[in-house]
Chains A and B, each alone.
Chain A
């Protein structure tokens, strides 16, 4: 579930399209269109379940899910707190480690040489597969396995982006600082750091949802009997579909909150990045 390294939600430029004479759509549609699509999905869903009655038992109607979510909010919130905490710890620690290692890799060629293939390999392997082993190593009653998986999931995009950002200083700026006889530390503080900041925040945005998903999916591979993932699995197995999906809604909410907060941070920082 890793994103392409530097995807920004702003999306590709449409200027090329309009240059060939296509009509410009009104701006308000940008907000209305996804709402309309969402409403359409809900209506079709409800139709399939309640009107046609042909949906499998495991897929309840959207209103039943909402009702269950509201009714069971206290226990859902408890489990949401567990998973969200694991994800947050993973995000924070993973980002800090990533910044540290990216700094080291940018500064020293040998470290970069050793880290680059390791990180590239980490990016393609199913990280949650090591959860059972982590639970063995750290004990089945520890949240550590899940937090470790979330950490690794967050580490990769932040590392890749920060490393790229540290290398994006423009030659004319580097010449300028050298001509001003700036020390190495001053160059880092006045040039490299501000240049890398937007990349760091892009990495954080990508890492946020990855950390949530990793924390959640890791619960499925063992560990303590709390958290959203285990709840979903338990209730799905015992046939309580609406409750299982209510927990899914909880998971989506956590992911959305993480994503929106980091997305906002990223937009704030990239305002002045380009001249």
Chain B
């Protein structure tokens, strides 16, 4: 169910229809088909995810956004094979999730940096390499590369408790990139940081993602963050957890600080916000005052989106 902010109506898909023909070529980074996840709790079953379809192309940056309980972190954990789906198929680069994990096709970063406190920064970055038998010389070289990539070269021999929250998170990102993965999974990695650090790290992340050409699946609570970072924003909603909207962010590969103050950025943020609230986004960007004058709930022109009823 995609639609572009330019206002051209796109053929709405009914659920369960065959997906539009994908571009032929390398297998997508992530292909989820009909994925469901049910948790059994003391008070009954909880449908954390229900019939989710998602495709992430190689090199694409996709943000997952939604309120608590919408299943975005669950979906990420399923992709990472940290949990198993109750139903549906999940393929990472054409392989089942379990094999992708064994092959270390992805790197992951969590909201807590999760650095091992008894290891130095360098040793933390090298952890995935050490686990998979990379030689010491190669590890040292790679750590130097990574440290330069995230700007922490002078801190390689320090311990995590000597670093600030933002720096620890940078180490976690470096660690996620250690084995040169083609897919990065990130679960609200900047959630525990203050706004200034957050914006700085967002800019760095887009640079790193572009340099390494990795696909990224990024879970977040923050609408501006989702729009700033990604090529596509996937909006989810809870009870049951499902995808309700996908919004194309056509802002191009260059994400500079100036972008945060451009009108296109604000319009996209508005579009995502409205999708989150379940209202249909306005088909064309209009002046705010005009919108107000016409009152809520008006629809513009033919061929606009159907109401919320169709979305479940």
Contacts and interface: CB of A to CB of B under 8 A. Distances in A.
B117 A179 contact: no
A255 interface: no
Interface in A151-188: 170, 172-173, 175-182, 186
A272 B117 contact: yes
A178 B116 contact: no
B159 interface: yes
21 contacts: A170-B114, A172-B110, A172-B112, A172-B114, A173-B114, A175-B108, A176-B110, A176-B114, A179-B108, A180-B104, A180-B131, A180-B132, A190-B130, A190-B131, A191-B116, A272-B118, A272-B161, A273-B117, A274-B161, A275-B115, A275-B160
Contacts of B110: 172, 175-176
A260 B132 CA distance: 41
Most B C-beta atoms less than 10 A away, residue of A175, A273, A275: A275
A270 to B, nearest CB: 11
Interface residues of A, number: 19
Interface string B41-78: 00000000000000000000000000000000000000
B82 A179 contact: yes
Given A175-B110, A181-B104, A186 B161 contact: no
B123 to A, nearest CB: 10
Contacts of B115: 275
Interface in A97-143: none
Contacts of B108: 175-176, 179
A62 interface: no
Residues of B in contact with A, size category: 20 to 34
Nearest to B162: A275
A180 B104 CA distance: 7
A189 to B, nearest CB: 10
Nearest to A274: B117
B112 A179 contact: no
Most chain A CB atoms below 10 A, which of B104, B106, B118, B128: B118
A194 B124 CA distance: 14
Nearest to B101: A181
Nearest to A269: B118
List the 6 shortest-distance A-B pairs measured between CB atoms, nearest first: A275-B117, A172-B114, A179-B108, A180-B128, A275-B160, A172-B112
Nearest to A176: B114
Nearest to A197: B118
A42 B225 CA distance: 69
